[in-house]
Structure 1
Amino acid sequence: MSFFEQPALQYATGPHPHYAFIWLHGLGADGHDFAGFVEAFAGITDKAMRFIFPHAPIQTVTLNGGARMPAWFDLYGTRPEDPQDEAGIQHAAHAITGLIKEQAGHGIPSDRVILGGFSQGGAVALYTAVTGPQHLAAGVGLSTYLPLAHRFAEGLPHVNDATPVFLGHGTDDLMVPYAFALKTHALLGTNGITAELHTYPMAHDISDTEIGDLKVFLTGALARRDLAGRP
């Protein structure tokens, strides 16, 4: 059975896209929430780009009283010591890995794919980027954290150690506390993964300043890749 219950939203900025931008929404949302990213990030390269906004499946979320909603995996608590849905996290990561493989079939290899997300979607994006087998163009996690931090380094493939990673977080975030961002940034660095942490005076949200910083970051990342002469 497929992880996804409906096809992802997809937009291309031109024929024969050279890059792909896969973005994962937060808990209780869907792919439509970030469709505005097409306009916001279309200019980060002069090459055509395909934007892909998958929808998380509807499933029970224990933390929310067992309510059913779009979720990438189940949540049991918000404290670092709370149990985590390891099987669900890995299942979601496997599904996103499959989306990346699909892009290769459309002429976009994994090293021309940007993978990112917000909140719970960002957790899956980060986990997939650092534990998956595919070399990516860039990774992004906004208002999020690295799940399964206690064991993510086991068998780490290190294919994305040099891949640019952008972490953005609000210092007033009560849903995913800023301390989670600090821990994630430190953990990635300890394991040889380069990441930039950008902080903002906001809660669990995305600001125009953050979007501006991310545009600069991704523009630079893709420009450096193109200057390196990679196909």
Structure 2
Amino acid sequence: MAFQHIKVIYPTAPARPYTPKNGALSTVWFDRYKISNDCPEHIESIDSMCQGLTELINDEAKNGIAKNRILIGGFSMGGGMAMHLAYRFHPDLAGVFALSSFLNKNSAVYQALKSTENVLPELFQCHGTADELVLCSWGEETNKMLKSLGVSTSLHIFPNLNHELSRTEIEQLKTWIVKKLPVDVSKTNE
């Protein structure tokens, strides 16, 4: 996705031993005990990645990008990582998008939001009904829980979409991004 007035950074998850693949190296943001929303989170690996990604956000802020002009998000585990990063460590960001993503039932995100008074970043979420890896019901449950904890959310369900992206989904995401980060008129007149 390209925008004239928005810098896009695509960080890549590192290769790490991944428990669902019997410890084989996999390019994933964090480890999981299993691919399920009904087990504990591997919080050590999640928090380690949050520290590294915080450096990326802080570098952009040092370069003059206001945190309320930064959106983060991702697909699958990348969306889960973005929700942890924003709602636990950076509630002053402009927004979060999570595509085919979920949080575990007792997520540290939910625990953090129970004790916050902050205005929280808006969540744009999409999920396919035919997703067999990350069940649509897990995404719906995540959305419902975040909404109950004060997050302004939108959830877009795509019939017959598996664990993949669709053109319609990408177009809706692009529309949301441009709405969240309009051209900064004060900078166009300089």
- TM-score of the pair, normalised by structure 2: 0.87
Query: Where do 4+ consecutive residues of structure 1 move more than 4 Å?
Result: none
Q: Does 1:82 align with 2:39?
A: yes
Q: Which amino acid aligns with 2:39?
A: D
Alignment match, 2:148:
190
Contact 1:185 1:195 in 2 (8 A): yes
Alignment match, 1:164:
122
Contact 2:128 2:158 in 1 (8 A): yes
Question: Would you tell me which structure has more helix in proportion to its own residues?
Answer: 2
User: Which of the residues 53, 60, 77 maps onto 1:103?
Assistant: 60
Contact 1:123 1:147 in 2 (8 A): no
- How many residues are paired up? 184
Alignment match, 1:132:
89
- TM-score of the pair, normalised by structure 1: 0.73
Q: Which amino acid aligns with 2:110?
A: A
Aligned to 1:63, the other structure's residue is in SS state helix
Contact 1:72 1:120 in 2 (8 A): yes
Q: Deviations over 1:157-209 (max 9, x none)?
A: 45452x32100110110000001111111111110010100011200000000
Q: Deviations over 1:49-102 (max 9, x none)?
A: 221111212110010121102111112212222232111111112221221111
Alignment match, 1:23:
none
Alignment match, 1:211:
170
Q: Does 1:69 align with 2:69?
A: no
State the 1:148 CA deviation.
Answer: 6.6
Q: Which amino acid aligns with 1:203?
A: N
Alignment match, 1:51:
8
Change (3 A) 1:134 1:64: same
Alignment match, 1:8:
none
Alignment match, 2:181:
222
Pairwise CA RMSD of aligned residues? 2.2
2:102 and 2:117 mapped to 1: Cα distance?
A: 19
2:169 and 2:158 mapped to 1: Cα distance?
A: 7
Structure 2 unpaired stretches of 5+: none
Change (3 A) 1:176 1:211: same
State the 1:111 CA deviation.
Answer: 1.0
